[in-house]
Amino acid sequence: MADFDPVTKAVVPAAGLGTRFLPATKATPKEMLPIVDKPAIQYVVEEAASAGLLDVLMVTGKNKRSIEDHFDRAYELEDVLEAKGDEHRLSQVREPASLATLHYVRQGEPKGLGHAVLCAKQHVGDHPFACLLGDDLIDRRDPLLQRMIEVRGAYGGSVIALMEVPREQVSLYGVATIEATGEDDVVKVVDLVEKPPVEEAPSNWAIIGRYVLDPEVFAVLEETPPGRGGEIQLTDALRTLAGRDADKGGPVHGVLFRGRRYDTGDKLDYLRTVVKFAADRPDLAPDFLPWLREFLDEIG
Ligand code: G1P
């Protein structure tokens, strides 16, 4: 039965134009912006790999070649580091190519997240798959994706990740209407709305960028008209699936996430994330944190 089909593939949409980060993203994909010393997208691929998803499809667009280079071998650089005997840097350079098998498909036209996911149809086939959005980083100590895969195994259908956000922020997210199940961290999703005005939001439970999707989502996306912002929205397709029975690709469950999530979507979020990651790094924190305290005192 399809419900017990294991999840082995991950889809990472990385075709956005990165307009919130211009001019840095004029020639560099936003996914390649470093969080301390690693591009954001590497954390995402590491997360997929540590959830056992070793087949990763990136949905890319124009200007994204550096992503492919990053996850490829770099023989020239490796030769130089090898000759110097710099084992540490050598392993850092080799690591991205060893994390997972990367595949690429281009989105062609920027028609929204739902359309980006639809571009994965041929590669994914008739199997459930995970989808990870690069703007959200999940702390490696909080294994959200593993839990979502478990929930898919138990309930079938699709699984989204939900996080409680302050009321004034709901219009930045897809928002869910939920019902309790017998499990503390699992809810049934009965309705969804993409980026509602604050006064129309059905709850404070926001969709964050991790999904485990039933392959039926492709057929639904093909029929989903453009929604919020004139784009084909994944949230709208999930709304359709939430109303369906198991034999038609439903239901949709939510895993309530109470762990550490880092948003890198805009400049302010990005700055916060870099500071938090640096503060957690044993090689940097001992120098960085005293400096940070001093700096904050200085500027009052
Ligand atoms: C996308 C989804 C939205 C979700 C969000 C999470 O929006 O459309 O439902 O809440 O990711 O980060 P975006 O942030 O790409 O506009």
Mutation choice for ligand 1 from 113, 164, 224, 261, CB with most ligand atoms inside 8 A: 113
Whole-angstrom distance, CA of residue 211 vs CA of residue 151: 11
Closest by CA to 136, choosing from 172, 111, 108, is 172
Task: Please work out whether the CB of residue 133 comes within 6 Å of at least one atom of ligand 1.
Answer: yes
Q: Looking at the CA of residue 265, tell me the nearest atom of ligand 1.
A: 14
pTM above 0.85, yes or no: yes
Task: Please work out whether the CB of residue 207 comes within 6 Å of at least one atom of ligand 1.
Answer: yes
Mean pLDDT in order along the chain per 10 residues (300 residues): 77 90 91 96 97 97 90 95 96 96 93 96 97 94 96 96 97 97 97 97 97 98 96 98 93 97 90 96 97 95
How remote is the CA of residue 283 from the centroid of ligand 1, in Å?
33
Residue 76: predicted pLDDT: 95
Mutation choice for ligand 1 from 160, 169, 173, CB with most ligand atoms inside 8 A: 173
Three-class HEC string of the chain = CHHHCCCCEEEEEECCCCHHHCCCCCCCCHHHCEECCEEHHHHHHHHHHHCCCCEEEEEECCCCHHHHHHCCCCHHHHHHHHHHCCHHHHHHHHHHHHHCEEEEEECCCCCCHHHHHHCCHHHHCCCCEEEECCCEEECCCCCHHHHHHHHHHHHCCEEEEEEECCHHHHHHCEEEEEEECCCCCEEEEEEEEECCCHHHCCCCEEEEEEEEECCHHHHHHHHCCCCHHHCCCHHHHHHHHHCCCHHHCCCEEEEECCCCEEECCCHHHHHHHHHHHHHCCCCCHHHHHHHHHHHHHHHC
Which domains are seen in the chain, by residue range?
9-265 (3.90.550.10), 270-300 (no CATH)
Whole-angstrom distance, CA of residue 29 vs CA of residue 32: 6
Residue 4: predicted pLDDT: 64
Q: Assess whether the previous peptide bond of 215 is cis (omega < 30° from 0).
A: no
137 contacts 264 by C-beta, under 8 angstroms: yes
Residue 16: predicted pLDDT: 84
Pairing mode of beta strands 34-35, 38-39: antiparallel
Task: Please work out whether the CB of residue 209 comes within 6 Å of at least one atom of ligand 1.
Answer: yes
Task: Please work out whether the CB of residue 135 comes within 6 Å of at least one atom of ligand 1.
Answer: yes
Residue 1: predicted pLDDT: 43
116 contacts 64 by C-beta, under 8 angstroms: no
Whole-angstrom distance, CA of residue 294 vs CA of residue 300: 10
Would you state the structure tokens that stand for residue 80, as one six-digit string?
Answer: 């130089």
